[in-house]
């Protein structure tokens, strides 16, 4: 079938986006063509294809599909709706605060900022209630958030109340002039009374939701440790 080359991306009645291809697109990979047409990342489009959410002329395509140049694609995709973050009166363990930043002890089980599946009950919701306003550098979803902790990790977090403080705190973390100290209970025998661990931190190749020590491609992480006490 032939399509008007001036036809644009539209939404059909079935809730999908329709994208016409032209003769100039012949032999292009579908994931590259659709990523460019829809302004999505290629990995995002590949996930949609793998999930069977992309059709060409009514037929589900495979990962290695190459264009004939006359297809009409249907992509079951809708951009994520913006999340409106509301202040919530959630108790916080506030260790220190001034006009520029606030230091809180984040509890285990609390998500730092809203995301898919976690629109309420986050640290950001609580901070907006207790502080009134936060730095806007990271947008409305992550206001004031300079560094993160996982949901199931408790610990001290420093949050910026204004943009100047945010820039300064981020620079300290980047330049490694900010030092984080942890008290850890370790299972097993520690051979040396003190030492240094140097590694790279990146996405776990087996589970992209987690971070792990990796052989290459991660950020340098340096930890100096010393033993305070040993138990039988």
- 80-98 residue pLDDT tens: 656 678 899 999 999 999 9
* Residues involved in catalysis: 150
CB 103 within 8 A of CB 94: yes
The three-state DSSP-derived secondary structure of 49-113 is: HHCCCEEECCEECCCCCECCCCCEEEECCCCCCCCCCCCCCCCCCEEEECCCEEEEEECCCCCCC
pLDDT at 15: 62
pLDDT at 54: 92
pLDDT at 230: 92
pLDDT at 126: 93
Mean pLDDT over each residue of the chain, to the nearest integer: 85
pLDDT averaged per 10 residues, the chain (length 232): 43 70 92 88 87 90 92 81 80 95 94 80 91 80 84 91 90 84 88 93 83 86 93 89
Q: How far is it, in rounded angstroms, from Cα 155 to Cα 147?
A: 12
Phi and psi angles of residue 140, each rounded to the nearest 5 degrees, phi first: -80, -15
pLDDT at 215: 87
Q: How far is CA 5 from CA 35, 56, 163, 180, in A?
A: 18, 16, 46, 57
- Residue reference for tokens 């900010």: 178
Considering only the C-alpha atoms of the chain, give the largest distance between any 2 of them, rounded to a whole number of Å.
78
Which pTM was predicted? Answer: 0.57
């Amino acid at each position: 079938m032939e399509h008007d080359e001036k036809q644009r991306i539209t939404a059909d009645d079935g809730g999908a986006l329709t994208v016409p291809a032209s003769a100039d697109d012949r032999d292009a990979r579908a994931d590259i063509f659709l990523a460019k047409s829809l302004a999505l990342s290629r990995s995002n489009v590949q996930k949609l294809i793998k999930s069977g959410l992309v059709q060409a002329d009514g037929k589900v395509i495979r990962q290695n599909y190459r264009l004939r140049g006359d297809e009409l694609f249907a992509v079951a995709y809708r951009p994520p709706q913006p999340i409106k973050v509301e202040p919530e009166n959630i108790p916080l363990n506030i260790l220190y605060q001034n006009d520029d930043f606030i230091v809180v002890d984040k509890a285990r089980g609390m998500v730092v900022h809203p995301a898919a599946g976690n629109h309420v009950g986050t640290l950001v919701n609580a901070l907006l209630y207790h502080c009134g306003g936060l730095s806007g550098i990271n947008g409305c979803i992550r206001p004031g958030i300079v560094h993160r902790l996982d949901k199931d990790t408790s610990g001290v977090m420093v949050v910026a109340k204004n943009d100047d403080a945010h820039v300064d705190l981020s620079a300290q973390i980047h330049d490694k002039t900010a030092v984080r100290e942890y008290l850890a209970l370790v299972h097993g025998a520690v051979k040396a009374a003190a030492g240094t661990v140097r590694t790279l931190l990146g996405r776990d190749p087996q589970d992209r939701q987690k971070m792990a020590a990796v052989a290459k491609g991660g950020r340098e992480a340096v930890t100096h440790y010393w033993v305070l006490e040993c138990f039988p």
